[in-house]
Structure 1
Amino acid sequence: MKILVTGGAGFIGSAVVRHLINDTDHTVINVDKLTYAGNLTSIEMVSRSPRYSFCQADICDRMAIEQIMVEYQPDAIMHLAAESHVDRSIDGPGEFIQTNIVGTYTLLEVARSYWQGMNEKQKKAFRFHHISTDEVYGDLEGPEDLFTEDTSYAPSSPYSASKASSDHLVRAWQRTYDLPVVVTNCSNNYGPFHFPEKLIPHVIINALQGKPLPIYGKGDQIRDWLYVEDHARALVRVLQEGAVGETYNIGGHNERQNIEVVITICSILEELMPENPYSRTGGNESGFEGLITYVTDRPGHDVRYAIDAGKIQRDLGWVPEETFESGIRKTVEWYLANQDWWQNVLNGGYKLGRLGKGES
């Protein structure tokens, strides 16, 4: 297939692009606006493939998206482009409304027009895969509760509300116009090429530099952690084999409190970086854990997320390959081995040399 991936220079999108180029025979058209979180170095290793093309465009720009669809004639769309950081959505919700809601609407309308112009065989094969989050469900009350595909939406932040809105739009376009869609809602992702503002890379990088490791409240918020490369495999599986109109929850089966995650990272760093001046053997009496700092909790902070991923296992045979223990170790090792990548992000160097609009 020729697959148009929106947001393919982002964290999850780049993992999808790398997986499609490295592990399948599909062709990829990567459409990304290249906001602050878009990083072409995350896909540099596949960018020279003859099956890969890049187009810099905003999904809110209907004319640009229409031109890309006409030029590349994709067989499917994987829609990952989104503003995704909760703290940023609290400080400035406008961009989240524009990208996540208006952008998804624009993409749906372009896809609908494009799909209606196909012959019957092409129409039947076409898919619009909308990638969303478990945050649309709000948080869980009981310790044994899990989000299922039928859980009612109760978003808590401007980010999750905007993603909930986009989910509703996608399902409405399927119900009203018969556009062949599939929807996935995932738990918290982590792994290589994660933008440093997010919890796990932020903690790793701050620890290496001896900076505070900020923890919201008591750090007792629980998340289900999903290794990003497991997620990429799941998304392609859903695109290829998922039933039209269905929703699939994708989780890592790895619930951890935020404080547990941070302590685990500190423990791995103690083992791998014994000479670091902020480790115990490097001279810091309390080690990396001594850098943990508790800060005022985020407004409207959900307490617990946990996904029931039984449906995708039963229907499509997908299960995560990584445990939290194996995935978090791989992640820490990657950040230690790729300091040039995250240093380039921190100093803004990754923004230099970007392609002009429409170039590929």
Structure 2
Amino acid sequence: MRALTYHGARDVRVESVPDPVIQEPDDVILRVTATAICGSDLHLYRGKIPATEDGDIFGHEFMGIVEEVGPEVTEVKKGDRVIIPFVIACGHCFFCEHELMAACENTNTGRGAILNKKQIPPGAALFGFSHLYGGIPGGQAEYVRIPKGNVGPFKVPGSLPDEKVLFLTDILPTAWQAVNNAQVGRGSSVAIYGAGPVGLLAAACARMLGAEQIFMVDHHPYRLRFAHQTYGVIPVNFDEVDAAEFIIQNTTGYRGVDAVIDAVGFEAKGSMLETVMTNLKLEGSSGSALRQCIAAVRRGGVVSVPGVYAGPINGFLFGDAFDKGLTFKMGQTHVHNYLPQLLEH
């Protein structure tokens, strides 16, 4: 089959590789009909994620048709059209039973990304996302092996086209979890940093949940225009104004917003010093977006972080967060929990 393979930073190639085969009795072989490029794939492409090896197949946003099933698969059959969560969960460990599927302790043979790890098991394996997360071949290929075939695949109802359900594999559940973690509700205010796909979908979810005031922070004018026209957000270009200052000036009592969502993560545009430190591996992530989030949110507010971070962050103002009594909620998305509800919408 043909697949997108990694051969070093900024070197990916479409090559012929062996077809996947059933390895475990609950495996599924999927014929891929649609796949997308995630912002996290760009981290891999740029060589920012350790333990990405020569020949690794990228892709964790994909869907397709079931081509073959192992002898213990009962939930899907050949010919079923399914979407695949990017998280691989067993469905029965301590964390899965607590609906924390991204923390599944049975699927990842890698070490995970925690630096000060101790004896804690790694979180769930992820498709196509380095050997830190199991080295599972991804879906930017003609075929892919799906472990845990009774837990992962979700059947697509009716005749919904691929382009309307593909986002359910990752970015829509990620946005949905982010706004729920942010406790966005009717009449609330929220600032979303990053007008990429996750940020835009977070704006859509926040609007659906009844948010009254939505700020969208980015520096790409076309993204900000789209967000304003489509979701009625207040656009904030951080190349033109101090975003946190602008947000505070436009909230009641200069309190700041009820919640902020950092949909940027560790490659946020920061100072030249931060860029140099990140390139020299002296810090793992740029803290630029996170510092802005802490500044823009009101006392007692919530900082929700769907953006990916890794390693230490220079200038993380934890004292400011303490003084404001902030709540932080973050982490990989527990996709399986949200898919049934999101499919209904």
After TM superposition, the score normalised by the length of structure 1 is 0.23
Higher strand share: 2
Instruction: Tell me the TM-score normalized by structure 2.
Output: 0.24
